[in-house]
Amino acid sequence: MPQAGEGKEGARKRPLRMPHVITDLAELHAVVAKLLAGDAFCIDIESRERQDGYPNPRTNEISWVGLASYGQVYLIPMGHPKGITLKPQHRAKRTLVEIYGLDDPRVYTKGGKISQASKEVTIPAVYGPPPRQLWQHEVFDALQPLLFSELHKVGHNVKFDVQSIAKYYGGKVPPGPYHDTIISTHVLDESLDAYDLKSLTCDWLKIPLYRRAKFYPNLGKSGVDNFGLDEVAKYLTKDLHYCWVRWVMTLTKLQRKKLKHVYDFEMDLYPVLIDIEQGGFTVDESRLGNVRTELMNGIKNIEHEAWHLAGDTFSLSHTDTKRWILFGEGDKPAFGTVIDKTAPNFGESTRRKLKTQGLPVMSRTTETRVPQVTQAVLEAYADKGNRMAELLLEWSLMEKLRGTFVEGLSALLTVHEDDPMPRIHTGFKQHGTVTGRLSSARPNLQQLPRGSTIRDLFVAGPGKVLIVADYDQIELRCTAQQSGDRVMTQVFMDGRDIHRQAAAAALRLKPEDVSDDQRQVGKTLNFATLYGAAESKIATVAGGSKQRGREFLDRYYAQFAGLKPWKSRVLREARERGDRGNLASNPPAVLIPPIGRLRRLPDLFINPNDRDDGWRCWRAERQAINAVIQGYASYITKMAMMELAPILREYPARMVVQVHDEIVVSVDEKWVTEVQPLVVSTMGGIRSTDGRPILGDIPLIASAGVGYSWAKAKGK
């Protein structure tokens, strides 16, 4: 591997090398031999066939392969339909006669003269004939020694590239070691708005917004077949060049900031995620009707409850309307914005008046100064117990699920020759959250509620069953371990119910006298520790006043006396790591155990008593505690995935998805009795690097259910 020593100035001073397009097989073999003499290379592909606006690595057709190493770039087109650009696309004035011809009625005459009127039109580019190019089978035969070597393979989302390539080798994915510059960038800054290479490069080089499209055009989004061979070559060269430079640059920063081990851990997980994505999750489309009914009923119920609170129907998707409903600011929405005969007051001769929640404004937009209605704002009000905010969040989630799993499901399915049922190949993102927890896309399986009928769509397939294993209260166990609270630790060591114990403390009862309904109070109190729920939220669950909610919290913290000092210590140390004079480069940050991943929180420096922005400090404090615990639990789950992977390869079994603290395994029916206990024992046996149990004296407990569908396996 190269020693990272070239920074921004070096990258700027060295000119971008001209594209080296390879159309000769002997030259390609020479390039492969040259790259094999090194220790790493960068790879990037361009492909045809975009599924629903997105490329599918299992069905796309690769049309270009780009390789780079130590400043050298090599491009291999395969069937590109255009030659070099002879005349670029441009705007020019043309008369109506030139545009429409004399027979078109839009060409008029006046006084016997032909109109000379003109307008500006787009003149398409002119291209030369495409050169002779290598066939795909020739290219991939020649590349096989390189792609399946032990060299380090670098890319920006390189797992997409290697999965796209796999179809040319009978489904076999080129092996690692892998290096993904998205992940190295995310470890260095987990809160960026965008991680695409073009945005990262333009931000790094300080390219102004109005110049970015020209400096770094996104030809791939429009399809590279629509551009000249020279244009694509220059575009792909930039991708390779800036990916390589970013890899070298981020490695230097990771080492300097002592975060290289965090990046290495994520890259150790990378091959496991590739295997899960490649295998996919079988879908039973015949159950789609039940899913559609459940979602539509859920959406309808949320709307009716929101309308009841507001006193009339209104659109839950309209931002201005939501702004008025929550804050009472702006123009009052018109009645009848929703036509629904099942609405609570439909057909009444006298319409009720819409009521506002009259909530205090937390945050306003910069330009118009109207109240913001972002998800973060809604979550803050929901944590305070406001039911309307909760309903708006629930409705938004249900609408997203409806769009994905009812309207958009067919576009996400892939048919396999050896499987009578289609599969979904969700894409896992290690950069999708700020805490290190995995996220997914197309579809986002992390959004699926545990009790949802949607999970019934996902099945094992013929002759197989699903093992659905999850951890028992892992985040609270992490809290006990991190805080060192003696009472909470002892509860887990004794195998007692932590929620019942918390309810008993708040309600002044014996744990055995706590009812199931009262246990819910304890559950709310426990998660208030992690997510920062306010007294009003606790009071809502307990059915009492805000004062009663505060009393419950006081009794809870008296019972678990180690929690408040621990939270105060985490926040104090986070602020001490920051530098008020250099907030951009050194903001306050918490260290996520056990390997020291950073969660940066600039808002911890905001005065909590600030009338306009104080809520942001409160939110940052809540996020800090949540990051420590959620990030720790995520690390344990990722460790379990890495330890399970080689074990499952010994059986007809494979992981099909990981969601939060849950791992789902598909296995042949006849092997389930042997594999199930292995999954449970492996998940519960995670150890630290020193060989000791990861949570010390606190037992790490996993359990697993078995069933044909994801929903049935856990009975949820």
Mean pLDDT, residues 468-492:
97
Report the pLDDT value the prediction gives residue 528, as an integer from 0 to 100: 84
Determine the Cα–Cα distance for residues 338 and 127; give it in Å rounded to an integer: 53
In the structure, what pLDDT confidence band is assigned to residue 344 with cuts at 50, 70 and 90? Answer: low
Mean pLDDT, residues 669-697:
96
For residue 23, is pLDDT > 80? yes
Determine the Cα–Cα distance for residues 447 and 460; give it in Å rounded to an integer: 20
Report the pLDDT value the prediction gives residue 417, as an integer from 0 to 100: 76
For residue 14, is pLDDT > 50? no
User: For residues 342 and 120, which has the higher predicted lDDT (pLDDT)?
Assistant: 120
Report the pLDDT value the prediction gives residue 222, as an integer from 0 to 100: 85
Percent of the chain with pLDDT over 70: 92
In the structure, what pLDDT confidence band is assigned to residue 43 with cuts at 50, 70 and 90? Answer: very high
For residue 346, is pLDDT > 60? no
Q: Of the candidates 361, 544, 175, 460, which has an alpha carbon nearest to the alpha carbon of residue 524? A: 544
Burial 196-225 (b: 16+ CB within 10 A, else e): ebbebbbebeebeeeebeeebbebbeeebe
Mean of all residue pLDDT scores within the chain: 89
Report the pLDDT value the prediction gives residue 320, as an integer from 0 to 100: 87
Residue 145 host element (H or E) = helix 136-147
Report the pLDDT value the prediction gives residue 18, as an integer from 0 to 100: 52
For residue 112, is pLDDT > 80? no
User: For residues 102 and 661, which has the higher predicted lDDT (pLDDT)?
Assistant: 661
Pick the CATH number of 286-407 from 1.20.1060.10, 1.20.1730.10, 3.40.50.180, 3.40.50.720: 1.20.1060.10
Q: What is the pLDDT of residues 567-609, one digit of tens each?
A: 999 999 999 999 999 998 899 999 999 999 999 999 999 998 8
Q: What is the pLDDT of residues 164-182, one digit of tens each?
A: 999 999 999 999 999 999 9
**Same CATH fold assignment for domains 286-407 and 476-627:** no
How many residues are there in the chain? 716
The CA angle 165-277-224, to the nearest 5 degrees, is 40
3-state secondary structure of 297: helix
Report the pLDDT value the prediction gives residue 1, as an integer from 0 to 100: 59
Q: What is the pLDDT of residues 232-267, one digit of tens each?
A: 999 999 999 999 999 999 999 999 999 999 999 999
CATH number of the structural domain 476-627: 1.10.150.20
Residue ranges of the domains in the chain?
8-81+131-257, 90-123, 286-407, 413-475+632-713, 476-627
User: For residue 54, how far is the Cα from the chain centroid?
Assistant: 15
Taking domain 8-81+131-257, whether its CATH number is 3.40.630.10 is answered by no
Half-sphere exposure of 632 (CA within 13 A, CB side): 27
Report the pLDDT value the prediction gives residue 353, as an integer from 0 to 100: 74
Q: What is the pLDDT of residues 509-560, one digit of tens each?
A: 999 999 998 998 899 899 887 877 667 777 776 667 778 888 888 999 999 9
3-state secondary structure of 706: strand
Report the pLDDT value the prediction gives residue 6, as an integer from 0 to 100: 47
Report the pLDDT value the prediction gives residue 349, as an integer from 0 to 100: 39
Percent of the chain with pLDDT over 90: 64
Determine the Cα–Cα distance for residues 550 and 557; give it in Å rounded to an integer: 11
Q: What is the pLDDT of residues 433-460, one digit of tens each?
A: 999 999 998 888 887 877 778 899 999 9
Determine the Cα–Cα distance for residues 711 and 435; give it in Å rounded to an integer: 27
Determine the Cα–Cα distance for residues 251 and 159; give it in Å rounded to an integer: 19
In the structure, what pLDDT confidence band is assigned to residue 383 with cuts at 50, 70 and 90? Answer: confident
Determine the Cα–Cα distance for residues 191 and 664; give it in Å rounded to an integer: 29
User: For residues 100 and 91, which has the higher predicted lDDT (pLDDT)?
Assistant: 91
Residues 6+ apart with CB under 8 A from 154: 40, 41, 42, 43, 178, 179, 181, 243, 244, 247
CATH number of the structural domain 413-475+632-713: 3.30.70.370
In the structure, what pLDDT confidence band is assigned to residue 704 with cuts at 50, 70 and 90? Answer: very high
Mean pLDDT, residues 646-666:
96
For residue 301, is pLDDT > 80? yes
Which residue do the tokens 């909470």 mark? 488
Which residue do the tokens 């006669």 mark? 97
For residue 342, is pLDDT > 50? yes
Pairing of strands 126-127, 85-87: antiparallel
User: What DSSP letter does each residue of 594-618 carry, written as one string?
Assistant: TTTEEEE-GGGGS-TT-TTTHHHHH
Cβ proximity of 272 and 655 under 8 Å: yes
Among 8-22, 337-351, 413-427, the range with the most confident prediction by mean pLDDT is 413-427
Report the pLDDT value the prediction gives residue 8, as an integer from 0 to 100: 43
Q: Where are the alpha helices (DSSP H) in 532-671?
A: 535-542, 546-559, 563-577, 614-648
Sheet (strand 281-282) strand order: 281-282, 423-424, 413-414
User: For residues 289 and 256, which has the higher predicted lDDT (pLDDT)?
Assistant: 256
Q: Where are the alpha helices (DSSP H) in 169-287?
A: 181-188, 197-204, 209-215, 219-222, 229-256, 260-279
Q: Of the candidates 206, 203, 202, which has an alpha carbon nearest to the alpha carbon of residue 217? A: 202
Residue 441 host element (H or E) = strand 439-441
